[in-house]
Amino acid sequence: MIDTAPLLPVADTLAIMPYVDAAFMVVRAEQSTVREVQDAVARLRTAGVAEPLKGVVFNGVRRFRLGYGASYNYYYTYK
């Protein structure tokens, strides 16, 4: 696993993309815009290296901002 520089401001990431088998884009929740993600994917496609992109990982997700019924935890009590 290789952690690279951000794709939009730095071109270094594009240089190693031809040598990877799979890539995941890390997107900061509530900070990265849809337009920034679209621009990053477009940059990969323009460079001809979009194929290794397998998915997106969201970081910075706040558990209590998910809304009603959406949670990744469960709770139980003993009686």
Measure the CA angle with vertex 17, ends 31 and 61; round to 5°.
20
Cα distance between residue 44 and residue 52, in whole Å? 9
> Token pair for residue 74?
């469960």
Per-residue pLDDT reduced to its tens digit, 4-39: 888 888 878 888 888 888 888 889 888 888 999 888
| pTM summary value | 0.65
